Amino acid sequence: MELLQLKYFQVVAKFQHITKAAKELNISQPSLSIMISRLEAELGTPLFDRKARNIELNEAGKMFLKRVNTIFSEIKSAKLEIEKKIKLDENSISLVTGNARFLFGILTEFLTSYPEVTIHQFLGNRNISQDRLMTGEVDFSMTSPPIDSKEIETVILKEDEIVLVVPPNHRFSDRKSILLSEAKEENFISIARAYTYRSITDNLCSLAGFTPNIIFEVDDVLIYEMLHLGRGVALIPKSICEMYSNSPLVVIPIEKPVCNFTIGLSWLKNKYLTKAAESFKDFVIEYYRNK
C-alpha cells in the first residue's frame, strides 16, 4: 500500500465519481479505476458500492477514509513541524567558550544587528570545546589556546600578552619588566579552575619553575578588587589591563617565559553552517580585527 494509492482513494471518496476524480488528479479514468481495484483487493473488501455510473462509499470505505484522512493530517502536521524546526535552526547559533569574557561586547552588537537570531552559549575548556565541535553539538568554539585539528578550521582572533599586575606599594611596583620566577614567593590571585585561562597561567608558572601559591580563586571581574586590597599579585592579559587604565595598579611585562594568550574561533570543516552562523562567524572575526 502506497501513499499515492491512499491519495487517489481520498479524492475518489471526495467526489464519489471516477470521472470527476480522474479529472481532478489529471490521470485517465481506466488507470484510476485499476488503482482503486488494487487497493480494494489488498484490503480484501470493496470500499465503494457501484450504482450505475455512480459510486458511493460503503461502511468499509467510510471507516478506511477516516483513517486515511488521519494519515494525511499527520503528514501535513509533521511537514509543518519540520519546516518550523528548520526555520528555527536556521536562526539558531550554538557555541562553547572557555571564558565568557571572550564574547564581551560581541553578543550585544551582533544581536542588535540580527535580532531574529538565537544564541546558545556554554562554558567549557578546550577539550570539551573540541569534543562538542567534532560531534556537531555546537557550531563554534572560542578557546585559548586555539584548537589545532585537521578536521577543524580555526581563525586566530587575538594574540595577547600576559603581564604581572601588582598593587602600587608592592616591592615590584618600580620594575619595568620581570622574570616570572622572581614572583615564586608571592601570593597569587587567580581565576577559578573552571576557566581555561587558569590552566594557561598554571603552565606558565610551571615553566618558570614553581607552583603558584593561590590564596584567592575568583571570577575574573573580581581579581581587580582583590588586587586593590593588596592581597596578592595576578597574571592578567594586557588587553584587560588596558580596560582599567585609570587604576593605580602596576602592570609589569614578563621577560621569561614568553607569556602569550591566544584566542581562536573554531568550527568543523565539513559541518554545514546556516546563513546566521556564517554571519556570526564573519561578525566575530571583524569585531576582533577592529577592536
Mean pLDDT of 203-228: 88
Q: In sequence order, which residues have a C-beta less than 8 Å from that of residue 69 and are 6 or more positions away?
A: 10
Q: What is the pLDDT of residue 240?
A: 79
Residue 195: count of CB within 10 angstroms of its CB: 22
CA angle 183, 146, 206 (to 5 degrees): 25
> Domains of the chain (ranges plus CATH)?
3-88 (1.10.10.10), 92-157+263-290 (3.40.190.10), 159-261 (3.40.190.290)
175 vs 1: which has the higher pLDDT: 175
For residue 214, pLDDT beyond 70: yes
Q: What is the pLDDT of residue 238?
A: 86
Mean pLDDT of 218-230: 82
pLDDT in tens, 102-153: 888 899 999 999 998 989 998 888 888 899 999 888 999 998 889 989 999 9
For residue 246, pLDDT beyond 90: no
- Per-residue pLDDT band at 256 (split at 50, 70, 90): very high
Q: What is the pLDDT of residue 59?
A: 92
Across the chain, what does the average pLDDT equal?
A: 87
CA 206 to mean position of chain CA atoms:
34
For residue 174, pLDDT beyond 80: yes
pTM comes to 0.62
CA 185 to mean position of chain CA atoms:
42
Strands 250-252 and 92-97: unpaired
Q: What is the pLDDT of residue 88?
A: 59
Mean pLDDT of 33-59: 87
pLDDT in tens, 86-107: 665 678 899 998 777 788 889 9
Q: Is the peptide bond before 257 cis (omega within 30 degrees of 0)?
A: yes
Q: What is the pLDDT of residue 85?
A: 67
Q: What is the pLDDT of residue 195?
A: 60
pLDDT in tens, 62-83: 999 999 888 888 887 777 777 6
- Per-residue pLDDT band at 232 (split at 50, 70, 90): very high
